[in-house]
Amino acid sequence: MCEMKRRTFLSSCTVAAVGSGLLGARPAPAVLPEGKPFAHAKLRMSAPLDWFPGNRPEDKLEAVAAWGLPAYEWLWPVGDPNSLRAKADSLGLELSCMVGAGAIAEGWMVRPEDHDKTVEMFKQHLELAKKLNCKRLVGLTGNRRTDISDEEQTGYIIQCLKRLAPIAEDNEVTIVMETLNALVDHEGFFLTRTDQAVAIMKEINSPNVKILFDIYHQQITEGNVIRNLRENITHIGHFHVADNPGRQEPGTGELNYANIFNAIKETGYDGFVALECGHSTGNYEDTLNATLKYLA
């Protein structure tokens, strides 16, 4: 998950100033492609709504649809949800993922005193998610505590998620718990490894609590991207995409995205794979076209 607008999940107003700067500046008005190229991709791709041209979110959705993307990603959606939902439905678009519960901060799921506010946060974001037809909400554990063991903190995370899971199940949404790298971007964050997240998923044992597998973060933390996603695909509910180093589009770093996308497809995964990267050229169209090369 990108650093934009998520240092905490407390409220959109506390993070709105961050905007989409990490994902690259929006270019001049774009020439939209012909043939909806992503409609033929091997995976169900999604991209941040802020990338696309248009004065209103509804206008941006037109551009998303013109590229043939089946979904858009908007972690902190704003505006009239009824208007956004009506426009998205008319274009056959889904909102692939938005904020849910927790934060990249002290406390939250690792601290039992914070569980009530974590549950309340989730309920608030869930109401907006339902209006926007968003089925995946991001969960964040909070930062590692130094006063108790990792085992105790894991136990508290499990306690919190066991409270959240029935709410997700009743509302037919999935909490996707994101693992973040603590080596470059998020020093001190608790949930960093795939095996660590899978162990928690097994304890929760809910089809509505899964992992958000961010390929960029996991390359930095542990490598073994293809093996880890293949072996744990039943626990994965969403993907984020960026290359490493630099967190730019596929093809700018060390990751072999042709092989990674093939591996995801071969698992039978039918969820969304969302771009969450910058633009090495400053142009979102170049980013989308570069990604298409690895989806052929």
Of the candidates 283, 287, 263, 259, the residue with the CA atom closest to the CA atom of residue 275: 287
Question: Which structure tokens are listed for 73?
Answer: 């990603």
- Active-site annotation holder among 73, 94, 249, 276: 276
Please report the beta strands in the chain, taking only residues with DSSP state E, as ranges in sequence order: 44-48, 71-73, 94-95, 98-102, 136-140, 174-178, 209-214, 236-241, 272-275
**Cα separation, 120 vs 56, whole angstroms:** 30
**Could you write out the DSSP letters of every residue in 122-159?**
HHHHHHHHHHHTB-EEEEE--BPPSSS-HHHHHHHHHH
Q: Which residues pair with 194 in a beta bridge?
A: none
Examine the residue annotation and report whether 276 is marked as an active-site residue of this protein: yes
Of the candidates 28, 40, 84, 56, the residue with the CA atom closest to the CA atom of residue 282: 28
Of the candidates 239, 242, 177, the residue with the CA atom closest to the CA atom of residue 203: 177
Characterise 92 by phi-psi region: left (phi > 0), alpha (psi -120 to 50), beta (else): left
Q: In 3-state terms, what secondary structure has residue 100?
A: strand
- Active-site annotation holder among 73, 94, 178, 249: 178
Examine the residue annotation and report whether 249 is marked as an active-site residue of this protein: no
CB 138 within 8 A of CB 178: yes
Catalytic residue numbers? 178, 276
